Structure 1
Amino acid sequence: MRLLVAEDDASLLQAISEALGKEGFEVDSVGDGADTYFFAAQGIYDLLVLDITMPSMSGLEIVKELRSNAIDTPVLFVTARDTIADRVTGLGIGADDYLVKPFALAELIARVHALLRRSAGEATKRVLAHGAFELDLLSREARYNGCDLNLTMKEFELLEFLIINKGSILTRSQISDRLWGFDTNIGFGILDVHMHNLRKKLAAVSCEDNIKTIRGVGYQFKAEGR
């Protein structure tokens, strides 16, 4: 899973990012509000950890804009603002949880896991299912009709992102940013290789037609019943 952490205190940003990285998350870090909104608006993250007070654009403004554009990525605010009114405002504009500074990193990690479980709608199973597909998010194993697909890590992440966004058209930029992050020199050619290999493995179990190429744009995973 990929998370975006936004915090203008560089030392705290590093501490949060490293702690979440040790939990196995892919983490992108940013210290400016406008940059945070740009990254978050791509719709590639499973969770946003946002400071409220940031240069150029506040966390509150970011969440308002995201929600007005139908981007419902879960948001955990981390902030020094600790009044009841501040919390009501943060939750009222669309944030999902609120953590007051100073906090223990262990508590932040626990809240991140709780929000991810809540957004997945499964508190214990940690299995992403769609039709005959089953993706075990802990073991990183993927199956179709009970058959192991034997995916590499990147192929698994690619299939996971496609299924999460089933029915939606994903641009190659969105997929690349999700798999490798914004700070990368990976070209689209590498993405196309992984997509080709994934399709070959899906073809082995006769389900390659689930992935549709949208010429000049990207890819779409067929929603069930379509």
Structure 2
Amino acid sequence: MKILLIEDDEVLCDTLKLSLDKAGYDTEICHNGTDGLLFACSSAYDCLIIDRMLPEMDGLTLLQALRRRGIQTPAIFSTALDGLNDRVNGLDAGADDYIAKPYAVEELLARIRAVTRRPGRIEDDRTLSFEGLVFSKEQRELRYQNSSVTLSKKEASLVEYFFRNPGRTLNREMILTYVWGSSSEVEDGNLDNYIYFIRRRLSTLKVPVRIVTVHGVGYRLEKA
């Protein structure tokens, strides 16, 4: 089971990671809200543990952004803010649970077990669509009306990321991390090549959809 721990106290973060790893979880960590959003959008996790008071982007804003993107991963707020309004606001933002600092690791583990065994929203995300263009993850196929094209593995990952973030400008770093991984040493020009490939696919299908270049930033999928 894979967990994302977003905590700005690096000592506490390292301590919790050791405990979570010891309990058998595959734990990834980051220390600010901006990175947390990138990580949570770029990979699949079974549970998110989010500190409320994060630099760059606070935990409430982070979780609300994830829920707007349709990411329904179970989330636990881990925070020193334990007033009634704090708890209510956290749950209303989309949290599944709320644990107040300081706490015993055993309690956190119990809460992780609880939120990950609850029946969640059953969503079939094997097929994604935008403006009539349909992407099948299993077949790595793009379909529009009666026409279809098959994608390579990298093309499919790139298309999936755009489909999950329609209308949003995705910076180059975010795209490279999602498609090639955070530790991969890929040349920047590779992304431009694959964008070119995808544009050719869209042109072949004659779809009312385009990928626009946002100069100095990245790319955006939008209605043509």
* 3-state SS, counterpart of residue 101 of structure 1: helix
Q: Is the 8 A contact 1:211 1:220 kept in 2?
A: yes
Aligned amino acid, residue 35 of structure 2: F
* 3-state SS, counterpart of residue 41 of structure 2: coil
CA-CA distance at 1:196 after TM superposition: 1.8
How many equivalent residue pairs?
194
Cα displacement string for residues 167-204 of structure 1 (whole angstroms, at most 9, x for unaligned residues): 22222122112223333322322212221222222222
Q: Measured at CA, do residues 191 and 16 of structure 1 come closer, stay the same or move farther in structure 2, by a change above 3 Å?
A: farther
Aligned amino acid, residue 37 of structure 1: G
Aligned amino acid, residue 54 of structure 2: I
* 3-state SS, counterpart of residue 61 of structure 1: coil
The CA distance in 1 between the partners of 2:62 and 2:48, in whole Å, is: 18
Cα displacement string for residues 77-128 of structure 1 (whole angstroms, at most 9, x for unaligned residues): 17699x9968546425x243128632497765555x836x5xxxxx346432
Q: Is the 8 A contact 1:135 1:160 kept in 2?
A: yes
**Amino-acid identity (%):** 20
Corresponding position of 2:54 = 62
Corresponding position of 2:162 = 162
CA-CA distance at 1:213 after TM superposition: 1.6
The CA distance in 2 between the partners of 1:104 and 1:139, in whole Å, is: 37
Aligned amino acid, residue 153 of structure 1: K
Which aligned pairs between 1:27-38 and structure 2 lie closer than 5 A?
A: 29-30=28-29, 32=30, 35-38=31-34
Q: Is the 8 A contact 2:52 2:78 kept in 1?
A: no
For structure 1, the residue ranges without an aligned partner over 5 or more in a row are 19-28, 53-58, 118-122
CA-CA distance at 1:6 after TM superposition: 1.0
Aligned amino acid, residue 148 of structure 1: S
CA-CA distance at 1:144 after TM superposition: 2.1
| Root mean square deviation, CA, Å | 4.0
Corresponding position of 2:10 = none
For structure 2, the residue ranges without an aligned partner over 5 or more in a row are 7-12, 68-73, 99-106
Which aligned pairs between 1:10-25 and structure 2 lie closer than 5 A?
A: 10-11=17-18, 12-13=20-21, 15-17=24-26
The CA distance in 2 between the partners of 1:151 and 1:101, in whole Å, is: 42
Farther off after superposition, 127-136 or 201-210: 201-210
CA-CA distance at 1:218 after TM superposition: 1.5
The CA distance in 1 between the partners of 2:95 and 2:205, in whole Å, is: 39
* 3-state SS, counterpart of residue 149 of structure 1: strand
Residue 101 in 1 paired to residue 100 in 2?
no
Q: TM-score, normalised by structure 2?
A: 0.65
CA-CA distance at 1:148 after TM superposition: 2.6
Aligned amino acid, residue 17 of structure 1: D
Residue 51 in 1 paired to residue 44 in 2?
no
Corresponding position of 2:213 = 213
* 3-state SS, counterpart of residue 213 of structure 2: strand
CA-CA distance at 1:45 after TM superposition: 0.8
Q: Is the 8 A contact 1:157 1:179 kept in 2?
A: yes
The CA distance in 2 between the partners of 1:192 and 1:36, in whole Å, is: 29
Q: Is the 8 A contact 1:43 1:71 kept in 2?
A: no
* 3-state SS, counterpart of residue 212 of structure 2: strand
The CA distance in 1 between the partners of 2:213 and 2:146, in whole Å, is: 26
* 3-state SS, counterpart of residue 75 of structure 2: strand
